[in-house]
């Protein structure tokens, strides 16, 4: 099925485009601008996960349960309802929309996906270490009305993972229209941290998915990339956190944890907290694959599509009445880029990638008396022993001059082709080389977590944040998605030990979802 037919079948409006002008007009009628560049109008309470179902409710599933991929409509913009695609789960009298699954390491889960969409779909558990039958690869997508039963044991470290659709050529549209949520794994280190800091999920430990979307005048989500947007990525001009537009969060003078997920199709965020006095430092405590060995104090971090950052923000020194913003600082996505692909960046009609804007406002409302200190050690992050490892080069470049697709080692995705095989039990070093004449690509591997060895040729804005071997603090933990800038080479070490019998098939792809659906993906096999 072609993307366009899918969009028709879902009944989504794809024709009208929300320009900043219409957004401002809408803002005028609802008492505040929806333009994220405007610090005013942050008047909508953030959707926080709760324990009684609802949107992003915490669900502790235990064993077998059913997840429906379905259409719904929900209020996203003030005074309007948006048609969305969501994951729905019913548990007794509670019903969940995009539930945050919370499970313990070692627990066995048997979710059944029921496809109530009018197109193929499959759930991929992003970051989970599972065999290929449970991974949700594009070739396992099921048709409308069909079901897919997963059955796996959670082998990952405690951490913030997520789940989203992965059907061939339809991932970007389905994720954009709403299908995505968190998968949180708990282990001993995780519980120790939570106890030490008295963190309460949904109150002081808050999963926060940041997304950009376009809306039409009716309030429906618009997904209709032009040819150039399939090539460069589709950007929205409205920024949502947990599907809340212009959100605020009332906070107390204590430590907060945010589990940040970039759930956008192609927008990169350069996140920072800013108060009227300037940047507010925060602690990076975890990456894609769970806790770091120790906290790193930072003032900003880049978060690319698919990546997670687990952070602590200490508000102890603030006063009641203060406020601060989580914002995205300006950056140049094409820093280093040599413009060799002959493409001029499209004059942006909305919010350009790298433009500065506000994500969420924090209002300090209450005094809290907490003497908790951030622990000096959090966990043990084992290295991957890469001595004698086989080296594999993966070059990211335009498919061919004049072809508006990106390729990995010159190949674009063919579901029937296995691009390479990896020996079970071996360690490989992947040298991911992004050509100078390119754009940023967040590269993601299924089936494994890896360690970053080094970065070379980084643009100045990234090199300035490096702490060790060109690596950023966010490179120091376990990763499954790694942002590579134009001209940059990132080396990662992967241990391909798998306990499952038989060959395992996975994909490696760009998590810019337009790039992925246009073929910036390869199948590989562990044999």
* Residues that bind ligand C2O in the complex, under the rule CB under 6 A: 124, 126, 164, 166, 306, 444, 446, 507, 509, 511
Q: In this complex, which beta carbon is closest to ligand C2O, that of residue 46 or of residue 122?
A: 122
> What is 5-21 written as a DSSP string?
HHHHHTT---S----HH
Q: In whole angstroms, how close is the CB of 512 to ligand C2O at the nearest point?
A: 11
Considering CB distances under 5 to 8 angstroms, the limit depending on partner class, which of ligand C2O, Cu ion, none binds residue 164? ligand C2O
Q: In this complex, which beta carbon is closest to ligand C2O, that of residue 303 or of residue 313?
A: 303
Considering CB distances under 5 to 8 angstroms, the limit depending on partner class, which of ligand C2O, Cu ion, none binds residue 306? ligand C2O
Cβ neighbours for 125, distance < 8 A, ≥ 6 positions apart: 134, 135, 136, 161, 163, 183
Q: In this complex, which beta carbon is closest to Cu ion, that of residue 43 or of residue 399?
A: 399
Query: Per CB under 5 A, which region of 29-37, 64-72, 216-224, 440-448 contacts Cu ion?
Result: 440-448
Angle, CA 334 vertex, CA 308 and CA 266 arms, to 5°: 40
Considering CB distances under 5 to 8 angstroms, the limit depending on partner class, which of Cu ion, ligand C2O, none binds residue 512? Cu ion
Q: In whole angstroms, how close is the CB of 506 to ligand C2O at the nearest point?
A: 9
Query: Which tokens go with 272?
Result: 């920072």
Distances (CA, A) of 229 to 269, 295, 324, 329, 342: 18, 38, 33, 23, 15
Radius of gyration of the chain (CA): 22
Q: In this complex, which beta carbon is closest to ligand C2O, that of residue 134 or of residue 283?
A: 134
3-state secondary structure of 286: strand
Q: In this complex, which beta carbon is closest to ligand C2O, that of residue 207 or of residue 295?
A: 207
Considering CB distances under 5 to 8 angstroms, the limit depending on partner class, which of ligand C2O, Cu ion, none binds residue 510? Cu ion
Contact between 479 and Cu ion per CB under 5 A: no
Contact in structure between 265 and 305 (CB atoms under 8 Å):
yes
Contact between 267 and Cu ion per CB under 5 A: no
Measured between alpha carbons, how far is 199 from 196 in angstroms, rounded to an integer? Answer: 8
Distances (CA, A) of 365 to 20, 75, 260, 346, 397: 32, 27, 23, 43, 49
Chain residue at closest Cβ approach to ligand C2O:
126
Measured between alpha carbons, how far is 210 from 314 in angstroms, rounded to an integer? Answer: 21
Q: In whole angstroms, how close is the CB of 172 to ligand C2O at the nearest point?
A: 11
Considering CB distances under 5 to 8 angstroms, the limit depending on partner class, which of ligand C2O, Cu ion, none binds residue 479? none
Chain residue at closest Cβ approach to Cu ion:
510
Q: In whole angstroms, how close is the CB of 521 to ligand C2O at the nearest point?
A: 8
Q: Taking the CB of residue 50, how many other CB atoms lie within 10 A of it?
A: 15
Contact in structure between 396 and 441 (CB atoms under 8 Å):
yes
Given the structure tokens 């622990």, which residue do they identify? Answer: 375
CA neighbours closer than 13 Å in the CB half-sphere of residue 188: 2
Q: In this complex, which beta carbon is closest to ligand C2O, that of residue 124 or of residue 257?
A: 124
Measured between alpha carbons, how far is 404 from 317 in angstroms, rounded to an integer? Answer: 51
First to last CA, the chain: 31
Q: In this complex, which beta carbon is closest to ligand C2O, that of residue 167 or of residue 470?
A: 167
Which element (helix H / strand E) includes 515?
helix 513-517
Considering CB distances under 5 to 8 angstroms, the limit depending on partner class, which of Cu ion, ligand C2O, none binds residue 172? none
Q: In whole angstroms, how close is the CB of 14 to ligand C2O at the nearest point?
A: 23
Q: In whole angstroms, how close is the CB of 491 to ligand C2O at the nearest point?
A: 21
Pairing of the two strands 152-153 and 181-186: unpaired
Q: In whole angstroms, how close is the CB of 372 to ligand C2O at the nearest point?
A: 33
Q: In whole angstroms, how close is the CB of 124 to ligand C2O at the nearest point?
A: 5
Q: In whole angstroms, how close is the CB of 308 to ligand C2O at the nearest point?
A: 11
Q: In this complex, which beta carbon is closest to Cu ion, that of residue 152 or of residue 282?
A: 152
Which element (helix H / strand E) includes 29?
helix 20-30
Contact in structure between 404 and 231 (CB atoms under 8 Å):
yes
Q: In whole angstroms, how close is the CB of 480 to ligand C2O at the nearest point?
A: 8
Contact between 441 and Cu ion per CB under 5 A: yes
Q: In whole angstroms, how close is the CB of 515 to Cu ion at the nearest point?
A: 3
- Residue from 82, 449, 512, 523 touching Cu ion (CB under 5 A): that is 512
Which element (helix H / strand E) includes 231?
helix 227-232
Q: In whole angstroms, how close is the CB of 170 to ligand C2O at the nearest point?
A: 13
Contact between 126 and Cu ion per CB under 5 A: yes
Cβ neighbours for 403, distance < 8 A, ≥ 6 positions apart: none
Considering CB distances under 5 to 8 angstroms, the limit depending on partner class, which of Cu ion, ligand C2O, none binds residue 48? none
Q: In this complex, which beta carbon is closest to ligand C2O, that of residue 208 or of residue 513?
A: 513
Measured between alpha carbons, how far is 303 from 340 in angstroms, rounded to an integer? Answer: 26
Q: Taking the CB of residue 20, how many other CB atoms lie within 10 A of it?
A: 16
Considering CB distances under 5 to 8 angstroms, the limit depending on partner class, which of ligand C2O, Cu ion, none binds residue 166? ligand C2O
Bridge partners of residue 147, in order along the sequence: 114
- Residue from 515, 519, 524, 526 touching Cu ion (CB under 5 A): that is 515
Q: In this complex, which beta carbon is closest to Cu ion, that of residue 314 or of residue 480?
A: 480
- Residue from 185, 510, 513, 518 touching Cu ion (CB under 5 A): that is 510
Considering CB distances under 5 to 8 angstroms, the limit depending on partner class, which of Cu ion, ligand C2O, none binds residue 515? Cu ion
Q: Which residues in this chain contact Cu ion in the complex, by CB under 5 A?
A: 126, 441, 446, 510, 512, 515
């Amino acid at each position: 099925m072609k993307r366009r037919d899918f969009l028709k079948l879902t009944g989504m409006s794809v024709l009208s485009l929300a320009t900043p002008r219409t957004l401002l007009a809408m803002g005028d009628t609802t008492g505040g601008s929806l333009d994220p560049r405007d610090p005013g109008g942050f008047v909508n309470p953030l959707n926080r996960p709760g324990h009684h179902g609802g949107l992003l409710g915490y669900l502790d599933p235990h064993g077998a349960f059913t997840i429906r991929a379905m259409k719904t409509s929900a209020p996203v913009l003030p005074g309007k309802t948006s048609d969305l695609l969501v994951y729905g789960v019913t548990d007794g009298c509670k019903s969940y929309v995009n539930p945050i699954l919370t499970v313990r390491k070692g627990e066995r889960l048997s979710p059944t996906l029921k496809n109530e969409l009018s197109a193929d779909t499959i759930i991929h558990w992003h970051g989970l270490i599972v065999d290929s039958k449970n991974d949700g690869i594009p070739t396992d997508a099921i048709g409308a009305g069909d079901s897919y039963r997963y059955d796996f044991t959670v082998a990952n470290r405690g951490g913030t993972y997520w789940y989203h659709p992965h059907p061939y050529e339809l991932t970007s549209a389905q994720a954009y229209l709403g299908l995505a949520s968190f998968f949180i794994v708990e282990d001993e280190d995780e519980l120790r941290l939570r106890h030490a800091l008295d963190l309460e999920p949904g109150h002081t430990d808050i999963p926060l998915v940041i997304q950009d979307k376009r809306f039409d005048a009716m309030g429906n989500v618009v997904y209709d990339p032009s040819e150039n947007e399939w090539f460069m990525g589709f950007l929205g001009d409205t920024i949502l956190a947990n599907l809340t537009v212009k959100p605020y969060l009332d906070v107390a003078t204590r430590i907060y944890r945010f589990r940040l997920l970039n759930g956008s199709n192609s927008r990169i965020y350069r996140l920072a907290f800013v108060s009227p006095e300037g940047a507010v430092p925060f602690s990076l405590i975890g990456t894609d694959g769970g806790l770091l060995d120790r906290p790193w104090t930072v003032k900003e971090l880049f978060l690319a599509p698919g990546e997670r950052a687990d952070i602590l923000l200490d508000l102890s020194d603030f006063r009641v009445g203060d406020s601060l913003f989580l914002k995205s600082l300006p950056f140049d996505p094409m820093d280093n880029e040599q413009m060799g692909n002959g493409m001029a960046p499209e004059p942006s009609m909305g919010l350009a990638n790298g433009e500065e804007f506000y994500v969420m406002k924090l209002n300090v409302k209450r005094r809290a008396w907490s003497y908790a200190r951030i622990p000096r050690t959090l966990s043990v992050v084992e290295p991957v022993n890469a001595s004698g490892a086989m080296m594999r080069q993966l070059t990211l470049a335009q498919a061919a001059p004049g072809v508006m697709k990106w390729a990995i080692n010159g190949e674009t995705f063919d579901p029937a082709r296995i691009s390479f095989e990896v020996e079970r039990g071996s360690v490989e070093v992947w040298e991911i080389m992004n050509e100078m004449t390119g754009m940023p690509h967040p590269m993601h591997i299924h089936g494994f977590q890896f360690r970053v060895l080094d970065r070379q040729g980084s643009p100045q804005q990234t090199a300035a944040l490096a702490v060790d071997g060109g690596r950023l603090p966010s490179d120091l933990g376990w990763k499954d998605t790694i942002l590579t800038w134009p001209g940059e080479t990132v080396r990662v070490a992967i241990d391909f030990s798998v306990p499952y019998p038989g060959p395992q098939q996975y994909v490696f792809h760009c998590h810019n979802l337009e790039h992925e659906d246009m073929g910036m993906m390869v199948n590989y096999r562990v044999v």
